[in-house]
Amino acid sequence: MDTSAHTELRTREPRTIEEMALQRLALRKFAPNTGDLLGAQLPCGAWSNRPVTAIPNAYTTGLALIALANNPWAPEVRSAVERGFSWLERTRGREGHWLWQWKFRLFDRQVRFDPNKFGWPWMENTVSWVAPTAIALLAYKAWNRPSERVPSALAMLEDRACAAGGWNAGNGHAFGVDLDPHPDFSAMALCALEAHDAGEFFLVERTARFLGRRLEECGSAYSLAWGVLALQRSSGRRLGTLVESLRRISGRNAATLNTAALALTALALESPAFDLGTRA
């Protein structure tokens, strides 16, 4: 389906690899291309979100791998994908190291989480967070790539969920308080769990309910688009309303949306909405 979001997206020059990967995904049927993504890969195999910084980023690497899974095959793609996954395999949240597990278990206990369950950090030498873990998991699924990292990362997402369902950037409980979920992180984590047929039933249900309720009056295309991408599998109850809101907002404001929001909108308004855990 060619929407106003697709039309506007063709005019955009991506400024980050996140924007580039999402744009390539959204335009895969109209202007397939992987050359710029392949050219931006770092020697270590990762992608930096801001190429000028050359700082490897697990979230961006996951998105680039998903985009490569859905664009035309070229011989050089195989090698880029191998190097990308090789970087993901050896990059882990710091809590995955025994020394830090010990510290978190004995001393640093204000933030409640199980350091045995770890995923991916945004950047090296930091701990695991929801968004890079969820996107990396979707990349593994998109390429049907088995890995010992996947079960631990899925367990980490379940461990970090908020009590009321959904996720925020990374912790459900800190300093004696249950923390609130955010729509985009909730949607990313839900996409990842469902793509891997994981996730405890009540957690999925609570998250779907949270997203439906939270996004009902939402005026942001970015959060709405993530919500539609996540709810397509788990819940048809409010999906139609959210799709209509997104269509209305993007039709009115496509020119003012940032490129990532625009691309997510285009993916969410496909029929059916794009599944981030699949490969073309």
Residue 107 binds other proteins, judged by CB under 8 A:
no
Residue 55 binds other proteins, judged by CB under 8 A:
yes
Mark the segment that binds other proteins (CB under 8 A) among 28-36, 198-206, 221-229, 265-273.
221-229
Which residue number, 19 or 159, has a Cβ lying nearer to other proteins?
19
Residue 35 binds other proteins, judged by CB under 8 A:
no
DSSP character string of 86-98: HHHHH---GGGSH
How far is it, in rounded angstroms, from Cα 266 to Cα 261?
A: 9
Residue 87 binds other proteins, judged by CB under 8 A:
no
Binding to other proteins in span 116-155, by CB under 8 A? 121-123, 125-127, 129, 131-132
Residue 85 binds other proteins, judged by CB under 8 A:
no
Which residue number, 32 or 219, has a Cβ lying nearer to other proteins?
219
User: What backbone phi and psi angles, to 5 degrees, belong to 111?
Assistant: -100, 120
Query: 172-202: string of b/e by CB count within 10 Å (b at 16+)?
Result: bbeeeeebebbbbbbbbbbbbbbbbebbeee
In the complex, least distance from residue 223 CB atom to other proteins, rounded to whole angstroms:
5
Q: Would you call 268 helix, strand, or coil by DSSP? A: helix
How far is it, in rounded angstroms, from Cα 5 to Cα 18?
A: 17
User: What backbone phi and psi angles, to 5 degrees, belong to 44?
Assistant: -75, -10
Which residue number, 175 or 202, has a Cβ lying nearer to other proteins?
175
In the complex, least distance from residue 162 CB atom to other proteins, rounded to whole angstroms:
13
| Number of chain residues interacting with other proteins (CB under 8 A) | 41
Residue 16 binds other proteins, judged by CB under 8 A:
yes
Residue 53 binds other proteins, judged by CB under 8 A:
yes
Residue 220 binds other proteins, judged by CB under 8 A:
yes
- The answer to whether 186 touches 161, Cβ cutoff 8 Å, is no
Query: 42-75: string of b/e by CB count within 10 Å (b at 16+)?
Result: bebbbbbbebeeeebbbbbbbbbbbbbbbbeeee
Which residue number, 176 or 272, has a Cβ lying nearer to other proteins?
176
Q: What's CA 204's distance to the chain center, in Å?
A: 16
Residue 31 binds other proteins, judged by CB under 8 A:
no
Q: What residues make contact with other proteins under the rule CB under 8 A?
A: 15-16, 18, 49-50, 52-53, 55, 57, 59, 94, 110, 121-123, 125-127, 129, 131-132, 168-170, 175-177, 179-180, 182-185, 218-223, 258, 261
